Amino acid sequence: MMKEYDVIVVGSGPGGATVAREMSLKRKKVLLIERGGRWNWLGNTLTVAMTLQNYGLTVSKPFPPFTQVTVADNYGGASMLICGCAMPPPKKIFDSVGINLTAETEEARKELWVTKLPDELVGKANMRLMEAANDLGYHWEKVEKFIDVSKCIPECADCMMGCKRDAKWSARFYGDEAIASGAELALHTRIDDVIVENRKAVGVKGSRHGKSVSYYGKRIVLSSGIGNVRILRRAGIQEAGRTFAVDFLQFIGGVSPHINTSKVQPMAVGTLEHYESDGFVILPVFPTWSQLTVLLAMKGLGHVPKALNAFRYTGLMVKIQDDLKGEIHTESSFLPFTKEPSHDDRLKLAKGGEIMKKILRKVGAPDKSIVELNPSGAHPSATCRIGDVVDTKLETSIANLYCCDASVVPSALGLPVVWSVVALGKRLAKHLDKTLT
């Protein structure tokens, strides 16, 4: 006799871990499946690369030009590498599909340690950037973060390297809570197919260390991010991934004699003042030395020597709500998509870029020191959109088969995603609980 779970969740990022935790707390039999392993020692480039699909080099085709996106392959998903920037679900986007996440957003606020940091943790360079931007007439302020202030230390910029102090919230905290409440975790297990009987999802199939595995459950939740598309298409849902968003971002850095951002919290200050009117946000963050070297190489090999300034740059990022364009391809995991910035995307990036250059000049960076990296994709999302591939309950056209992660957002958020995905996970768990009792 095969064991039957109440809920099988595929993918342990913020979406999947939330559903697993909520359902386990409700005493449901839960299996959380993750294709990656549990890398515990982050904090250096090599281990970070090990937690990513293609060691971080997942790029679009045809290339060049490259659009690079970061795709997780690890327990906790991409949340292990987040900057810890906490932005609530954008109401307008979810209102457009009739979803109200107010209650779930507030529930998550406490659990995700959302807070604004004291000045000493924000860091002098961020405080100076905020002052410079405000002197220029912009409206910068401290930005909320998923940080436990009691564990965080000043002059540390290692959020994106994985926080060794556990001061930054990641989906592992929810995943581990699910396990403590009875959920089973299957690592190194890649799901390829949904088992469908009488037009209802009843399980999933895949492989673990080269051996075939099958699991049976009453409800199946796909939370494997960009990976949902392949599973859904193999199940016959062909419309998945026919277009999508990546929240294009562009980094611009300059060398100021007074400050640099190499040792301060990323995204601890910034502005959302251009979000409603122009569809972009500006936040201070810059790639680590290794990411910078790769991004400079993508711009052209002649730019690579600029990486010698890696620890002297003051860096800013513009992140936009990009147009739904491009496509996911499921035949290759190295070049799994086509996507490049549209004309409108480029206008938004350019407008944000001009503002960032003004701020860099104001803190003393000469024009000749300014480097503009190529746009890259921040958050692959909106592949299985609400109203298109899933309904407002996040159920697909196959009964009992749901999606819950960044793939379901109805359009580009252009904002950090975690809080939105966690709120969606909490909302889905309430629905699943009702249907299972």
In this complex, which beta carbon is closest to ligand FAD, that of residue 89 or of residue 255? 89
Shortest approach of ligand FAD to residue 155 CB, angstroms? 19
What is the spatial distance between Cα 247 and Cα 114, in angstroms, rounded to a whole number? 22
What is the spatial distance between Cα 202 and Cα 173, in angstroms, rounded to a whole number? 28
Q: Please say whether the beta carbons of 195 and 204 come within 8 A.
A: yes
Under DSSP, the state recorded for 242 is: S
What is the spatial distance between Cα 268 and Cα 125, in angstroms, rounded to a whole number? 11
Shortest approach of ligand FAD to residue 425 CB, angstroms? 8
Shortest approach of ligand FAD to residue 266 CB, angstroms? 7
| CA distance readout (Å), 34 to 3, 84, 119, 186 | 19, 22, 38, 6
In this complex, which beta carbon is closest to ligand FAD, that of residue 256 or of residue 383? 383
Shortest approach of ligand FAD to residue 45 CB, angstroms? 13
What single string gives the DSSP state of each residue in 6-40?
Answer: EEEEE--SHHHHHHHHHHHHTT--EEEE-SSB---
Q: For residue 413, what are the contacts with CB-CB under 8 A and spacing of at least 6?
A: 90, 93, 245, 247, 321, 379, 381, 420
Count the neighbouring beta carbons within 10 Å of the beta carbon of residue 397. Answer: 14
In this complex, which beta carbon is closest to ligand FAD, that of residue 191 or of residue 363? 191
In this complex, which beta carbon is closest to ligand FAD, that of residue 255 or of residue 295? 295
In this complex, which beta carbon is closest to ligand FAD, that of residue 82 or of residue 99? 82
Shortest approach of ligand FAD to residue 48 CB, angstroms? 9
Q: Residues interacting with ligand FAD, by CB under 6 A? A: 10-16, 33-36, 70, 72-74, 77-79, 81-85, 160, 190-191, 223-225, 227, 267, 379, 405-406, 416-419, 421
Six-digit token pair at 164?
Answer: 């060794």
In this complex, which beta carbon is closest to ligand FAD, that of residue 36 or of residue 256? 36
Shortest approach of ligand FAD to residue 112 CB, angstroms? 9
